[in-house]
Structure 1
């Protein structure tokens, strides 16, 4: 049995985006996983409830993880570690001389140790770098637990298997049946958990992902691997091929954490229209993609669409704020 440690404020609420729905002629709802907490806000905490539970089961006193310099996951890991009296060590892709704002500021405020690495080091060597840190901490008398990028492994993805069950229960409460559920794909674990939960519950909804970096094909392979890993913990495998994984490409824009003016303008538009703040790294790009695809007719067969707000409000930096008019 997985030793889940409960941190998140659950269940998160679902609300209808009334004005956006009217403009687009579709029923669009949003699940507020940005409200899972303050320091631990966003989707990552659902995954960390399982990953950190395993770390404590193994008597670890340090958490090691990685991400971009404005990683929501890294910040949430640092917050959970501080809450539990554990140490945290973050491997972040970026320049150590970059201004400490947003998530990076909070990482430091929460007492995390940080190792900055180049894009190349992060892409090709982050696992080895984290393992070297684990060994160095071991020499100092610590036992560290390594959490992969975004807590996106079989263990972490269980958090969104549970989230899917939460959605199914909420559908009964609010008397709505969602036929499309949409989520950002940044490391794959949130999508994989939702997809698995949807399938094992024989739910007819289609799970859509909008990748905000890399490519559709890249994430399809990652998700297939994660689905196999989830089955190790649940004892129930599912048969799926990559064509059944509905990941919509075309919206990474300039790349991870880089924005075009139209993306920032869209986030501003949604804030004024619905009073909901999206972030420029994840949810802003995914919601932008969803609205564009609805306008193209790609979602014409769907009546009730649920968008997963996975958080990220701390991810705004000076450059992105500068694009606001």
Structure 2
């Protein structure tokens, strides 16, 4: 069925490539076979703004412009890919950006935080306890701060994951399925990292709306499988609210694997770093320890367990995040 998209501002370089991972496929094939591995290179949506967040921000920026906003306010960790992308989007569109960041600034800027500052975003730092306990209050404070100075702000939730941001990966699912058709197959599985739920929600809803039989699985990098199943359905419910012929979120097959989170969000163990090195060595692709590295490590472990028997083609959606790789440089001592 045709999808009627809302206003958007083209920011990403689309379509991103769909690329076979033949060396990894050969290495991880089992005596019983297994799927051919592919990667959807959404790490190439744009250079500095690269990653999955840019697809969502196209629609959020469209809504901001329609609403007469000149300021974007959002939140995330100090090494948030979403905050970095929002900072660069704001710079490109001539909008102010206020970031509500979780964690204490050490005084040294690296990775995504360095890019935030280069892009001219205003950064406010809060302890994790204050960040989580006062998040709604902090958004209100900064929105009022800018309003008192004659500016109109749009507040963007964590990861741009809500009923508006979900449009980014409804569109992304349509693009991905079209890529696969051109390559001569329909994917049995689409796999992505799940950190705020919005990318998985868009892919799941997009495949549903387009009538694809593809199963979407998110590898959680924080929280529980139950949390993300509920979060995906909340985003879909918000998207469907007031829409004719809306989707019943309970009818969606929401698959989350939370077995590879490790010690916690943004904390990885050596096997994840070794997976990152292996993928770079075999395929020339950079993953990060927070999102894609954990998800791809989980994917390889599930391949080894034979979890994808019967699936001929599996597509991993590379959601970007390579700037977040560099603050973890000390964990790659095994390369010396």
**TM-score band w.r.t. shorter chain:** over 0.9
Are residue 20 (structure 1) and residue 30 (structure 2) matched? no
Question: Which residue does 1:224 correspond to in 2?
Answer: 233
Task: Specify the SS of the correspondent of 1:323.
Answer: helix
Are residue 288 (structure 1) and residue 322 (structure 2) matched? no
Residues 21 and 27, structure 1, Cα contact 8 Å, conserved in 2 = yes
Q: CA separation in 1, counterparts of 2:45 and 2:19? A: 15
- What is the CA RMSD across the aligned residues, in angstroms? 1.4
Task: Specify the SS of the correspondent of 2:285.
Answer: coil
Post-superposition CA distance 1:253-294 (Å, at most 9, x none): 121111111111110011101111111110000000011011
Question: Which residue does 1:135 correspond to in 2?
Answer: 144
Q: TM-score normalized by structure 1?
A: 0.96
Post-superposition CA distance 1:89-138 (Å, at most 9, x none): 00011112252100000000100001111111222221220111000111
Question: Which residue does 2:6 correspond to in 1?
Answer: 2
Are residue 323 (structure 1) and residue 331 (structure 2) matched? yes
Are residue 114 (structure 1) and residue 123 (structure 2) matched? yes
Moved more, 6-15 or 255-264: 255-264
The CA deviation at 1:316 is: 2.0
Are residue 103 (structure 1) and residue 112 (structure 2) matched? yes
Gaps in structure 1 of 5+ consecutive residues: none
Q: CA separation in 2, counterparts of 1:272 and 1:253? A: 23
Residues 180 and 205, structure 1, Cα contact 8 Å, conserved in 2 = yes
Post-superposition CA distance 1:55-88 (Å, at most 9, x none): 1111111000001111110000000101111100
Are residue 91 (structure 1) and residue 95 (structure 2) matched? no
Question: Which residue does 2:32 correspond to in 1?
Answer: none
Residues 237 and 249, structure 2, Cα contact 8 Å, conserved in 1 = no
Question: Which residue does 2:279 correspond to in 1?
Answer: 270
Moved more, 170-179 or 79-88: 170-179
Question: Which residue does 1:163 correspond to in 2?
Answer: 172
* Structure-to-structure mapping, 1:145-156, within 5 angstroms: 145-156=154-165
Q: CA separation in 2, counterparts of 1:94 and 1:105? A: 15
Q: CA separation in 1, counterparts of 2:190 and 2:146? A: 41
Classify 1:6/1:182 alpha carbon distance in 2 versus 1 (closer, same or farther; 3 Å).
Answer: same
Residues 224 and 242, structure 1, Cα contact 8 Å, conserved in 2 = no
Residues 74 and 90, structure 1, Cα contact 8 Å, conserved in 2 = yes
Post-superposition CA distance 1:25-71 (Å, at most 9, x none): 23000000000001210000000000111011111110000011111
Task: Specify the SS of the correspondent of 1:270.
Answer: helix
Question: Which residue does 1:213 correspond to in 2?
Answer: 222
